[in-house]
Amino acid sequence: MNMPIGKQKVNWVARVGLLGGSLLFLPACSGVPTHMLYDSVGVAGGAGLAAALTKGNPIATVGGAVGGLAVSEMMQTASKNNGIEKYDAGYDRGRSDDIKEVYWAKERLLKPNPSTGGAPDVSYLPVPVEDAPDSPIKHVPNTVSIPVINQ
């Protein structure tokens, strides 16, 4: 079969690209890091697409591989950032829940006891707050009162 040289080159590049792309999926189950796998797929896909569109131009094929790598990296970075944002939001929610839990525990302790019929016996412990001796910033002396429940 006599095919023009250009078509033979395109067919060869397309076959190599497809073979290389399909071989990249084989080690996916054996612990290959997904970042490397996605980069490889991006490079193979970009090179194959560029080779098919430009009829095997080697410079365009290399450019397509670089472009595929760039797209793969951008997508992975966006995915990673999204995961970090979700983790931070969950951390903030958990911290908020802890603060609410402490608040409601304090409220339950200070609530009147129905069995004794009155408010709990609470005394306040004054704690003076002073500046650190080596601090260049001077504050007004202050006292903080800490509630202590007497039982």
Domain count, the chain: 1
pLDDT value at position 13? 63
Q: From the centroid of its chain, how far is CA 57?
A: 39
**Residue found by looking up tokens 């402490």 in the block:** 102
Predicted TM-score (pTM) of the model is: 0.41
> Is residue 26 domain-resident?
yes
Question: pLDDT, tens digit, for every residue of 53-62?
Answer: 888 788 888 8
Print the domain residue range for 46: 5-90
Q: How far is residue 83's CA from residue 24's CA, in Å, rounded to a whole number?
A: 25
> Is residue 100 domain-resident?
no
Q: Are 55 and 9 in contact (CB under 8 A)?
A: yes
Question: pLDDT, tens digit, for every residue of 85-106?
Answer: 888 888 878 777 888 888 888 8
> Is residue 131 domain-resident?
no
